Amino acid sequence: MRLDPSYLEYMTKDEFRVLTAIEIGMRNHELVPMNLIERISHLKRVCASKVVKLLLKNKFIAHENKKFDGYKLTYLGYDYLALQVFMRRGAIKEVLGKIGCGKESDIYKCVNENGDFVILKFTRLGRTSFRTIKKNRDYIQHRTSYSWLYLSRLSAIKEYTFMDLLHKNNFPTPIPIEQNRHGIVMSLINGVPMQNISEIDNPKYVFDQCFDLIKRLAENGLIHSDFNEFNLMVEDNGKVIMIDFPQMVSTKHKNAQFYFDRDVECIHVFFERRFNYQITDTLDFNKIARLNDLDVQVKASGFIKKEIKNIDDFDIDLRGSDDDDDDHQENSDDENEQNDLDRNIGLEDSDDDEIEESKKKIQNLNILNDDDESEE
């Protein structure tokens, strides 16, 4: 499915209203029933059902009626909610195309309002099996009823927070620009993933940077824990840039040494196999001096302070605070939900003529072409 910001021009306020209502409803419901959509969106049933039908047709939401009858956002719907925010903030003006499709993310090359290239990364947990995710990350533990969208959002928050902190501490990372929902906007790295390099003039220069990065991270209380040729980019001048941070842990994590040794081993094996570079150096986790505590600082960062208590199992704590949120939501009156909705969709800008105009436009426009389906 192509991500095209121009679709946003044709989406009515009512569509955003219903999409956001479903998003809000999903905080406490796996499937959001029609009556709740009406209540949160403050739309009459006839109008709400019409909009729901349109959103279904365009695959922004999905309908289920096996156990319960209700609706949920699809990743596409979630993408457009985030994209709308990025566009309003000027971080994205145009989406040029998808340049990467990982197990758990889609990467798009975009242009911002100043005409600069930027990268948009949408996390899409749930593509790999539940088991793999559970094995790789702690996200799912103790959570029986969970939403992939919510977990993807956590992952994006965590990634952005680490990128921001590392960037501010002079680590070579992309420049973090914006974060919303499951999306991150960052600067484009003009380089290639190390995995794509078959020959290299000076392997020692690149290898030393990798080792130095693992060491510097640990000196600062952090372990990347996915430090490999897929998550390291090399610029033309040979400079190494780290990407992909949602799985970082602190050096106080109970398996810290295991993750550290694995990062070191990955680099060893890659350089030996790919460049036939014989390595004598190694890094000893227990001999690395702790000079700084970025692991503690990330915990205190404004971005996630409210939610994350321990970066190594923040998702569990987050789930705790999510439950609190749910209680709050359960007790909140319609007015609160309405405020939430208005804030989310910027309804204060709403203009009836504009809505009517958009409605007319949308009637004439099949937002997503049928042939886009196959790519979904």
Contacted by 134, from Mg ion, ligand ADP, none: CB < 5 to 8 Å by type: none
Spatial distance between the Cα atoms of 117 and 170, rounded to a whole number of angstroms: 22
Q: Tokens 């047709």 identify what position?
A: 57
Query: Which H or E run contains 16?
Result: helix 13-25
Cβ pair 10, 364 in contact under 8 A: no
Spatial distance between the Cα atoms of 230 and 215, rounded to a whole number of angstroms: 19
Q: Which single residue brings its beta carbon nearest to ligand ADP?
A: 102
CB of 359: closest distance to ligand ADP in angstroms? 38
Contacted by 100, from Mg ion, ligand ADP, none: CB < 5 to 8 Å by type: ligand ADP
Beta bridge partners of 108: 98, 120
CB of 284: closest distance to ligand ADP in angstroms? 28
CB of 83: closest distance to ligand ADP in angstroms? 17
Between 100 and 320, name the residue whose CB sits nearer to ligand ADP.
100
Phi, psi of 280 (to 5 degrees): -105, -30
User: Which parts of this chain interact with ligand ADP (CB under 6 A)?
Assistant: 100, 102-105, 107, 119, 121, 174, 186, 188-189, 193, 230-231, 243-244
Cβ pair 19, 73 in contact under 8 A: yes
CB of 360: closest distance to ligand ADP in angstroms? 39
One of 14, 164, 226, 263 is an active-site residue; which one? 226
Contacted by 34, from ligand ADP, Mg ion, none: CB < 5 to 8 Å by type: none
* 231 to 129, 139, 343: CA distances (angstroms): 21, 21, 36
Between 230 and 285, name the residue whose CB sits nearer to Mg ion.
230
Cβ pair 37, 50 in contact under 8 A: no
Beta bridge partners of 97: 109
CB of 206: closest distance to Mg ion in angstroms? 18
Q: Tokens 């979630």 identify what position?
A: 78
Contacted by 347, from Mg ion, ligand ADP, none: CB < 5 to 8 Å by type: none
Between 230 and 277, name the residue whose CB sits nearer to ligand ADP.
230
User: Which parts of this chain interact with Mg ion (CB under 5 A)?
Assistant: 230-231, 244
Take residue 368 and report the two structure tokens written for it.
Answer: 């997503």
Q: Give catalytic status of residue 226 as yes or no.
A: yes
CA 146 to chain CA centroid, Å, is 16
Contacted by 105, from Mg ion, ligand ADP, none: CB < 5 to 8 Å by type: ligand ADP
Between 47 and 107, name the residue whose CB sits nearer to ligand ADP.
107
Q: Which residues are catalytic?
A: 226
